[in-house]
Amino acid sequence: MKKIILFISAVFFLLFYSNAQNNRLTPEILWQFGRVSDARLSNDGKTVIYGVTRYSVSENKGNTDIWSVMANGKNVKQLTNFDGSEFNQRWSPNGNKIGFICNESGSYQIWEMNADGTDKVQISDIEGNVNSFEYSPGSEYILYTKNVKLDKKPNEIYPDLPKVNVRIIDDLMYRHWNQWSDYAYSHIFVASYLNGQLIDDADIMKGEHWDSPLSPYFDAAEITWSPNGKYIAYTCKKLTGKDYAVSTNSDIYLYNVETGETDNITEGMLGYDKYPRFSPDSKKIAWQSMETPGYESDKDRLFVMDLATGTKEYITKDFDQNVSHLVWNEDGQKIYFISGIKATYQIYNYNFELKKITQITKGVHNYNSFSKVGKTLVGERMSMSMATEIYRIDEKKGTETQITFTNQDIYNKIAMGKVEENWIKTTDGKDMLVWIIYPPDFDANKKYPALLYCQGGPQSAVSQFFSYRWNFQIMAANNYIIIAPNRRGLPTFGQEWNAQISGDYGGQNMLDYLSAVDTFKQKSFIDENRIGAVGASYGGYSVFWLAGNHQGRFKAFISHCGIFDFESMYPATDEMFFVNHDYGGAYWDKDNAEAQKSYTFSPHKYVQNWDTPIMIVTGGNDLRIPYTQSLEAFGAAQMLGVPSKLLYFPNETHFVLKPQNSILWQREFFNWFDKYLK
C-alpha cells in the first residue's frame, strides 16, 4: 500500500513540477518536501537516526519513516517502511537495537529492530496506544506514556441514555488549544524489560487527574531517566480547572523507581519549570525555569540543583537570553543548550569551572535540536531558504558540515529568493532587525508589490525558520518583496525588548510595523501603492488593528485566526493566564487601569475606519483564538461594505495542516493579493 501511495505522490510531484513557472517554489512543491525530525546520535557517536515525513496530497495525509546516516555523512539508509508512521526512534543503551513506535498491529506499540533495520519485532502489547517511551540506562526498564481515562462521559453518568450527545461542564480547561477534553490524561508507566518483552508495568501517576508530559504539546522531552536508572524526573502541572487555566506553575517531580516515592523538587518556584536533565553522575539535575507566574514568554532560565543538598543555582542570571534543549557533556563539566540571538538560534555551552558561556555556532540559521556524544556534535538546522537538515558541528574549528540532503532534488530545480538582514531605526530611536526577502531573479530596476509580515506569538521571533505554512520563499516566488520586522515583543533581542508588548498591544510594536513599511516603501524597487499586510494569531490581530489605523499605507489585508474583540476573547479562550498577563486582567475590572488601557487596543473599536479589502481565515477547531473572532470581523467588514472574503476550515485548528486545505489556502492567499496588489 505504501508503495502505491508513494507512486501516486511521485506522479503528482512530476505533474506539478511540469506546471511550475520559472522554477519557482509553489504550494504543491512545498508539500513534496521531506520533513526531517528527531535526530538521535548513537552511543558511540558514529550514526544518526532520524525521521523523515512525506505527504501524499492525493491521499491528504503524511507518513513518517526512520532513516540513518553516518555522522560523517556517508551511508544514508531508510530503515522502516511500514504502511503507517514510525516515530520516537531511540537507541537501546547497548547500541545494538533501535526502538520505535508504530501501529502495524492495529494500535501504537513499541517495536525494536537491529541497527541496520533488520529483524523488526513488536516488544509491547499494551492496551490502548503508546504515545512515547524511553529505555532506562541499564535496560532493566522502559518508561512509556499513554492516555488513561479517568473521567466519566455523560452516557456513563446516565447509562439509560446511550446515544446522548452533550458535554456537561462545571469548570475551566474543558478544551485546550486544538481539542476538547477526551476524559483521559497522559500518564507515565514503568515496565520491566526482560528478554525483549515488557512485563509488570505500573502507572506512577495512578489516579491523578493531570498530564505528563504537559498538554497541549505532550513533548516527551519533559520526561527523563537518571543515568543510574534509579529516578525518573518528569514535568507536571498538578492543577485542575480554573487553577490550571490561570497558572503557569508546572513543576519537576522526582520519582524513585525503587521506593515508588515522588518528590516535587521545584516547589515554591511559581512559573514554568520544564525539561529536567540529570548530570552524568546523577548527582545534579538541570532544567528550564521561568520566574513570573502566569507569564508564558518569560525568560527561560537555566537552573541546576545539587540533589544531595537541595541547593539550586541560577546559572544564566547574567545572560540576557533564553535557554532550551539542555545537554550535559560526559564529564559533567559543561551544559550545552540552544539560545536565540538576533533572530537566529545557535548552540552554546556553559563551563562550570570557568563560569563562562560560549557561543559555538554562528550564522544566518536556526538550530532546532542537537545530540552530543564525546567529541561528536550533530544538530538539526534550518533557514528561511532551506528546510531542516542534519549538520555535524566541529566545536573547535567552528565549522558546520551538512550530512543529510533530503530535499536536494527540489533545490536543484527551483530558485530561492535572497534573504537580506537590515537594521532600521524605530520611532523611539531603537535599532530593529528587519528581514527582506526578494523574489528570485530580482531586478532592482523594476517596481514590486510588497507584503508586511506580522508575526504571531505574540512573543515568537521572526527567526530563520522554514515554515510549511507561512513560507517567505513562496511569497517571494510570487514576485512579492517581503518585509519581516522583529518588532517589539519578540525574543532574541533581550528581555526588555521581548517584554515591552504586554499591556501595549496597539502601542510601540504597531509603530515598529509602520516604521518598517515607511522605511522600505522609499526603496525604488517597491511600489508604495501596492503594499499589503498579512499575519496569523497575534499577527492576525495586528492586521485587524492596522486595518483601522493604517492611514492608507496598505491596499489589501489577510488575517489568519486573529483576535478581533478583546472583550469576547477574554472569557472564551482556554489559557486564562495568557489574557490575564497580556491584557492585565478582565474587562469588567473597571478599577484596573492597566487592563482598561489594554482593551482600548481592541480592533473592533476601530472597525468604523475599515476601508481596505480584507480576507479572513479561521479553523473551526481553533480553541486558542475561537473562530467566532474571525466571524465577527468578517460580519463587520460585510456590513461596512468593505470587500472581504472568509475562509472557514471546519476541521482545522489554529493552523491549516491538511495538505489539500493548505494548498487551497495558498491559492486563495495569492488570488487575493494578486487581485488587489498586481
Q: Which residues are catalytic?
A: 537, 622, 654
The conformation of residue 455, written as its DSSP 8-state character, comes to P
In angstroms, the CA 221 to CA 299 distance is 19
In angstroms, the CA 12 to CA 6 distance is 10
Residue 165, phi then psi, degrees to nearest 5: -130, 90
- Strand pairing of 448-454 and 526-536? parallel
Q: Classify residue 443 as exposed, middle or buried by CB count within 10 Å of its CB (0-12, 13-18, 19+).
A: exposed
Question: Do the beta carbons of residue 14 and residue 21 sit within 8 Å?
Answer: no
SS (H, E, C) 563-588: CCCHHHHHHHCCCHHHHHHHHCCCCC
488: three-class secondary structure by DSSP: coil
Residue of 468, 451, 454, 457 lying closest to 625 (CA atoms): 457
In angstroms, the CA 476 to CA 436 distance is 10
Question: Do the beta carbons of residue 102 and residue 65 sit within 8 Å?
Answer: no
CA dihedral 296, 300, 306, 308 (to 10 degrees): 10
Residue of 517, 597, 520 lying closest to 557 (CA atoms): 517
CA dihedral 203, 209, 214, 216 (to 10 degrees): 120
Question: Do the beta carbons of residue 587 and residue 593 sit within 8 Å?
Answer: no
- Longest Cα–Cα distance in the chain: 76
In angstroms, the CA 178 to CA 184 distance is 15
- All cell numbers assigned to 76: 544514508
User: One-letter amino acid identity for 475?
Assistant: M
The conformation of residue 152, written as its DSSP 8-state character, comes to P
Question: Do the beta carbons of residue 390 and residue 69 sit within 8 Å?
Answer: yes
Task: Give one DSSP letter per residue of 341-376, joined into a string.
Answer: ETTEEEEEEEETTTTEEEE---SSSEEEEEEEETTE
Residue 45: CB atoms within 10 Å: 16
Question: Do the beta carbons of residue 70 and residue 60 sit within 8 Å?
Answer: no
Residue 292: CB atoms within 10 Å: 15
Whether the upstream peptide bond of residue 643 has omega within 30° of 0, thus cis, is no
In angstroms, the CA 79 to CA 319 distance is 42
Residue of 332, 214, 186, 232 lying closest to 274 (CA atoms): 214
Sheet holding 262-264, edge to edge: 223-225, 231-236, 251-256, 262-264
CA distances from 202 to 64, 187, 215, 444 (A): 30, 10, 22, 66
Whether the upstream peptide bond of residue 626 has omega within 30° of 0, thus cis, is no
CA dihedral 302, 294, 307, 352 (to 10 degrees): 10
- Strand pairing of 324-328 and 334-341? antiparallel
